[in-house]
Amino acid sequence: MDGLQPLIDFVAKHPRLLVITGAGCSTAAGIPDYRDENGAWKRQEPMRYQLFVDSALARQRYWARSMLGWRTMAGALPTAAHHALAQLERAGRIVQLVTQNVDGLHQAAGSQAVVDLHGRIDTVCCLGCGVRSPRRALQEELMARNPDWLALDARSLPDGDADLESLDFAAFGVPACPHCGGLLKPDVVSSVKACHVSVWRLCVRRWRRPMPCSWPALH
């Protein structure tokens, strides 16, 4: 309790809170984080937007991993932390929650004033026509197209390009947008610039005026 006392005192002193959460809020739900305590990558660095749109093989590798990893994401349930934050919001103590997580567990726990800073992994966006659709529907299509992959464990997939020959990612079937035939990508923020824009829009929408900050200029 002694370690929590500064937090308890802060919450008691400030009745209207803006809360920012990160990966640590969801690790207890079985969703792994990407970095260690020193900020180094624990596993392969997340897919970059430019590589995703430029390389068909990169997209196949991404969706193959995603199809297997979706089992963990789709089955995750809100943790005690998610429920506690939702309860604080219902009590009027939290006026805004900004999360770096893409799992939607804050909303599943009942929080409503949520800004998904990096987007949501449970939604898919078409880069051609902009239509958004549930990730669940794409999962069903991926499984139907790639039944031989369903027996694999996501942890068995190679981490680097040098190991790609061990699995035939080029044979993995990736569906296109049913509306325009365009590329489908997870509806998550793909750049630091886009993340900054999300925060700026939040500031304008919430406080109706610019807030001083030290973020890099947006070009």
- List, for residues 178-189, the tens digit of each pLDDT value: 999 999 999 886
- pLDDT, position 217: 33
b/e per residue 24-54 (b: at least 16 CB within 10 A): ebbeebebeeeeeeeeeeeeeeebeeeebee
- Rounded CA-CA distance 73/53 in Å is 24
- The sign of the dihedral angle between the CA atoms of 88, 202, 66, 37 is negative
Report whether pLDDT(205) > 80.
Answer: no
Instruction: Give percent of the chain with pLDDT exceeding 70.
Output: 73
Catalytic site includes residue 106: no
3-state secondary structure of 185: strand
Tokens read off for 144: 């139907």
Interior angle at CA 99, CA 97 and CA 105, nearest 5: 95
Higher pLDDT among residues 199 and 75, named by residue: 75
Least confident of 46-50, 128-132, 190-194: 190-194
- 80 CA to centre of own chain: 19
The active-site residue out of 83, 118, 179, 196 is 118
Report whether pLDDT(49) > 90.
Answer: no
Domain boundaries, the chain: 16-188
Interior angle at CA 187, CA 181 and CA 190, nearest 5: 105
Alpha-helical segments (H) within 127-178: 135-145
